Structure 1
Amino acid sequence: MSGWGRGAGGGGGGGWGAGGGGAAGSSGGASGTSATQGNHNRDLQLPETPSGVISSVRWTPPGCVNLMVGATSWDKSVRVWGVQTQEDNSGLVTAMKADPIGIQNSEQPILSVDFAKDGRCFYAGCDRAGMMWDLQSGQTQQVAAHEAPICCARFQEDGAAGPMLVTSGWDAKVRFWDVRQPSGTPAKEENFGAPVHDMDLTSAPLATFLCGRKCVVYDLQNMAIVNESTPVAKASYAMRRVANLADRSASYACTVDGRVVSLPVAAGQTSEQFKAHGGADPRNAKLFDAYQVNFISAHPVTNRTVFTGASDGLIRCFDLQAKGRFYEFPPRRHNGEPLPVSCGALSPGGTMLAY
């Protein structure tokens, strides 16, 4: 877990080219073509972490009394920690302490976690069930189901879709569940014709769903599809994750071949792409190394900054207006080799990153 200042959304330099990057750390930007290098000095290692690869991380939403972070893992567990922070006079936020709150185990790997403002936790995964977890009592209740693994679960509190749990699965379906009166039947269902790998509802009523090689833009107020788009031809490989800008002006997705692509959210908009993680092979200049980007997170305040993490172990921060990177967080290493970043998420105020 890393923290930085309020202004983590400036900077310039760099172009949309090979080897581009920039990431978390402290506030501030960089000029020229190089990115400011961060370090792990302010990182806080959470206690009692999973034994398997972490599949998702998620913070509690704005308005929640307690600041918590949850993580799911391929070891079939979901865990929640309470986080205590400290802010100095310059606005730099540091995670000082994290205490385990609870753990739940499943018969299959868990792939997604989210929270309600009242602190309830929701999780889902390969057992095809969506669960609601009361952290105070420790009780769990099934509130959703699919015919295939559920890869994403998000709790939506506002608009016509709220308060509802929205789940997407490899069965190509998105389902809306009223968790106030669980009945086993979704309040609404959409079939997008391809496995739905990810969604972002943080810019409600605008929502985006990644399915196959297309992005479906959805209006949560009217519960209807607004637009469907495909990325530029160069982004010919599968998209992994999607992130919406807070002002609803654009969405961005990351791909398995190291790219970040912009996705039109309205008719008439065009799609762009840039290489986020990769570069010339140091052993053979004729080869290009591309690394799968495993998470993308849009800064909730600036509307100009996205963070990415990839299998090269790097976390990078891009200034969308300057079309370049301004910060890069180096990889952690084990036996000299970089450890891949499997997932990541920005805190509600954009001051901390869990990864």
Structure 2
Amino acid sequence: MSFFGNKTTTSSTGTTQATEQDLANDVIVTNPPEDTISDIAFSPQADFFSASSWDKKVRIYEVTPTGATEGRALYEHDAPVLTTRWTNDGTKVISGGCDNQVKLYDIQSGQAQQIGAHDAPVRAVRFVECGPTNTPVVVSGSWDKTLRYWDTRQPQPISTIQLPERVYAMDSAQKLLVVGSAERHISIIDLSNPQQISKQTLSPLKWQTRSIACYPQGNGYALGSIEGRCAFQYINDAEQSKSGFTFKCHRNTETKAGRTENHIYTINSIAAHPVYGTIATAGSDGCFHFWDKDARHRLKGFPSLKGTISATAFNRTGSIFAVAVSYDWSKGHQFNTPQSPITIRLHPTKDEEIKQKNKRR
């Protein structure tokens, strides 16, 4: 086991702790959602992104060549929306929410339709390619303890997988699909054979799974929990034994009246850089960090954004890191005040922040 820790360290390119100046070029998105932002996803084809919210809406924005943002479309669910993603061709947006529906929005026609349903809220959706022919389907995970695959042209699921518990997080890359459920269950599915769970295990973290990101190569995944802890995992047992580990993050210590207080925060979001494969974590402490999992090193840690971070995402090239600052309910309803910020900021990434360092010989 290894721990990155949160102390400021120095490398050949300078400190790994960012300052407010490192956030000076961030773009604040105009016309953000009106309630907690549950998810953000970029188009795989262009600099468009969708944001789902507890205000029952999914908003679609364009990032212009100047770096500004413009709202392009909006569609609604009948209850809070918990998840959003894009189809691989960038022509449609999918979403799921507390109305138990899986919806698909066509960018060109501006029409939204229900393509699936669960018996409880839909926590996560992904667009995946299954089997030897790479058949494109939507997969949804729900609190009804099922995973369902949908052909967008028919109302009944192609297949349903029974899971051990409610779905709390899910991600996919290549032929890998990883589902994190209640009671720390982790279900791993090989999309070459999508109708069955290829491996069932428990999270190495002691508390509830909150976030998952699959590595771009499809050989492993990162887990985040409510306890300020992260795990880097691999599918292959030999690779896991060599390179897998857990570490503490999104924690801080302060001294008040001579007493030391330790604060531990939920890791609400994990995202993998699409080019470099480095990892971003973000939490209810309002901070985000970039990590080199292979070198077991923090590349850059950023100061608090003065509100909890509820969702993050990289664009298709990794040049933009979108960060949603909105209340995550981690301290109960009494802390959700009218003064709580609801913003989306776009951070232009620099290689020195997000690219692996050259290994010293």
TM over 0.5: yes
Distance 1:118 1:279 in 2: 40
2:316 is the counterpart of 1:348: yes
Distance 1:76 1:306 in 2: 30
Distance 1:21 1:263, change over 3 A: farther
Distance 1:341 1:29, change over 3 A: farther
Tell me the SS of whatever aligns to 1:70: strand
Distance 1:263 1:84 in 2: 37
Structure 1 counterpart of 2:111, which letter?
Answer: Q
Distance 1:348 1:282 in 2: 42
Q: What corresponds to 1:111 in structure 2?
A: 82
1:123: Cα distance to partner? Answer: 1.1
Q: What corresponds to 1:146 in structure 2?
A: 118
Query: Could you state the TM-score of these two structures normalised by the residue count of structure 1?
Result: 0.82
Structure 2 counterpart of 1:274, which letter?
Answer: F
1:317: Cα distance to partner? Answer: 0.8
Give the gaps of 5 or more residues in structure 1. 1-14, 23-27, 87-95, 333-337
| Kept after mapping to 2: 8 A contact 1:294/1:343 | yes
**1:1-355 equivalence runs, <5 A:** 16-19=3-6, 34-37=16-19, 39-61=22-44, 64=45, 66-85=46-65, 96-116=67-87, 117-157=89-129, 159=131, 162-179=135-152, 181-182=153-154, 184-201=155-172, 203-212=173-182, 213-223=184-194, 224-232=196-204, 235-268=205-238, 269-270=240-241, 271-283=244-256, 286-303=260-277, 305-332=278-305, 338-355=306-323
Distance 1:127 1:21 in 2: 44
Structure 2 counterpart of 1:242, which letter?
Answer: I
1:191: Cα distance to partner? Answer: 0.8
Structure 1 counterpart of 2:86, which letter?
Answer: F
1:168: Cα distance to partner? Answer: 0.3
| Kept after mapping to 1: 8 A contact 2:175/2:218 | no
| Kept after mapping to 1: 8 A contact 2:130/2:193 | no
Identify the structure with bigger relative contact order (alpha carbons < 8 Å, sequence gap 6+).
1
Distance 1:285 1:215, change over 3 A: farther
Structure 2 counterpart of 1:282, which letter?
Answer: T
Query: Could you state the TM-score of these two structures normalised by the residue count of structure 2?
Result: 0.80
Distance 1:50 1:173, change over 3 A: same
Once superposed, what is the RMSD of the aligned Cα atoms? 2.3
Give the gaps of 5 or more residues in structure 2. 324-361
Distance 2:233 2:185 in 1: 9
Distance 2:114 2:166 in 1: 22
Structure 1 counterpart of 2:41, which letter?
Answer: R
The one-character-per-residue Cα deviations of 1:80-100 (angstroms, maximum 9, x if unpaired) are 0111246xxxxxxxxx12111
Tell me the SS of whatever aligns to 1:39: helix
Distance 1:114 1:21 in 2: 35
Distance 1:51 1:33, change over 3 A: same
Distance 1:191 1:316 in 2: 35
Distance 1:165 1:17 in 2: 36
| Kept after mapping to 2: 8 A contact 1:21/1:326 | no
| Kept after mapping to 2: 8 A contact 1:29/1:327 | no
Structure 2 counterpart of 1:35, which letter?
Answer: Q
Structure 1 counterpart of 2:165, which letter?
Answer: A
Percent identity, aligned pairs only, is: 26
Structure 2 counterpart of 1:226, which letter?
Answer: S
The structure where helix makes up a greater share of residues is 2
Distance 1:17 1:82 in 2: 36
Distance 2:7 2:321 in 1: 20
Distance 2:144 2:320 in 1: 34
| Kept after mapping to 1: 8 A contact 2:171/2:212 | yes
1:198: Cα distance to partner? Answer: 1.6
1:285: Cα distance to partner? Answer: 5.4
